[in-house]
Amino acid sequence: MKKLVGAVTALAIICSAGLADIDFTPSVYVNGNKIEADIIMKDDRIYVPLRAVSESMGATVSWDETNNTASIETSRSDSILPQVIKDASPFVVAIIGGYSFEGTPAYKEKYMQGTAHGTGVIIKSGGEILTNAHVVKDLNNIIVVLYDGSGYEATIKYIDEETDLAVIKINRLGLQTARFADDEDIVIGKTVVAIGTPISFSLRNSASLGIISGINRSITNDYRLIQTDASINPGNSGGPLVNMNGEVVGINSSKLAGIGVEGMGFSIPAGTVKYVLKHFETYGRVRRPDIGATLQESVFAYMGLPADTGLMVSSVKEGSPAQTAGILINDTIIEVNGCAVHSIVDWNEEMKKYLPADTVTLKVQRGTEQKDISIKFSEK
């Protein structure tokens, strides 16, 4: 710093000789952004406003008048993470239950029970908890253990296996609920923490840190997923992926992870969660529009390569909307109401916008021709 000060001083002397209105206050840049605030030069030292520089570096400044003290806190994960986890923990629950091994005769059921566990997120203070469908589907009885250690029996209120989401309910009021992030907040690179009960039930409310590694990912799933490198183990299923604002960006599902693959966990995005919860509330289940035809994506889409090959119709059911609309086998559907569909996931994501009985226009490629076909959905 000394050299710079020297140079400035020299320059000031040179310049002060004749050009009094030139501004020689140094400019300070933080990460390429100029600080727009009063900067003072005194005794060869540059003085910058505390708040302006700190906040531009992402730190927070607080002023304690009583003690005449200013405190700067850097936003390194280290200091806000414990708070994020602490704030989130009240709405994260552990789920455990007993299940019967397949094909067990009744007389063995009494003893041959396995226990399985997962995690859940409280979504309604009146006792509703969101988790994965696969966590609760086969359990004979479901127990929810809250952050305060109390346990309650739960029943399944809604379940949708296709998205792997389920809502269970316990008889307890006044619970703290989770807030879901907006789609715009789900950005690659943002820090997230997965909270849950990995491996053993005694590891309740464990946290693992990572980033959002990818969005719009899908491997074997029907819908798009968030990819993260936060550890997601089997017991984490149904638990939240939380951002640094304490909002839930996704619901973790270990079922979707590749076997033996490290550093790649998957989460059901908040958008899909909201879609499913809306349907649960309004219809008691997810009502999916159907055209009654089997669609096949191209091998490129299947492999995850960029593809603009649309979806090929491989079969049309008798009496289905597809048949009524005149869709034929080997037709390729390229667009739904102007939105491109090139994979099964694209199709499923598009279908979220519609309900059975809605009418849409499909852009269909038949040989070299492209046709617009109007179709009215039935229900899946």
Residue ranges in contact with another protein by CB under 8 A: 96-98, 103-113, 115, 124-128, 141, 143, 150-153, 157, 169-174, 176-177, 281-284
Q: What tokens does 338 get?
A: 């102007």
Supply the DSSP symbol for 180. Answer: B
In 3D space, the residue among 290, 283, 282, 273 whose CA is nearest the CA of residue 166 turns out to be: 273
Contact 92, 240 (CB under 8 A): yes
Give the nearer residue to another protein in terms of CB position, either 143 or 313. Answer: 143
Catalytic annotation present for 160: no
Of 167 and 345, the one with the shorter C-beta distance to another protein is 167
- Taking the least distance from each CB to another protein, the nearer of 67 and 107 is 107
DSSP string, 337-349: TTEE--SHHHHHH
The alpha helices in 115-159, defined as continuous H runs, are 133-136
CB of 86 to another protein, least distance (A): 15
Q: Is 134 a catalytic residue?
A: yes
**Are β-strands 191-196 and 206-217 bridged in parallel, bridged antiparallel, or unpaired?**
antiparallel
DSSP-derived letter for residue 375 is E
CB of 158 to another protein, least distance (A): 10
Nearer to another protein, 99 or 300 (CB): 99
Min. distance of Cβ 249 from another protein in angstroms? Answer: 18
Question: Residue 261 in contact with residue 306, Cβ under 8 Å?
Answer: no
Distances (CA, A) of 321 to 28, 200, 222, 347, 353: 66, 48, 22, 16, 18
290 carries an active-site annotation: no
Answer left, alpha or beta for residue 220, where phi above 0 means left and psi between -120 and 50 means alpha.
Answer: alpha
Which residue's CB is nearer to another protein, number 216 or number 378? 378
Of 54, 117, 134, 253, which is the active-site residue? 134
Active site residue: 54, 164, 254, 342, which one? 164
Give me 116's structure tokens.
């399985």
Considering only CA atoms, give the Rg of the chain. Answer: 28
Give the residue numbers marked as catalytic.
134, 164, 237
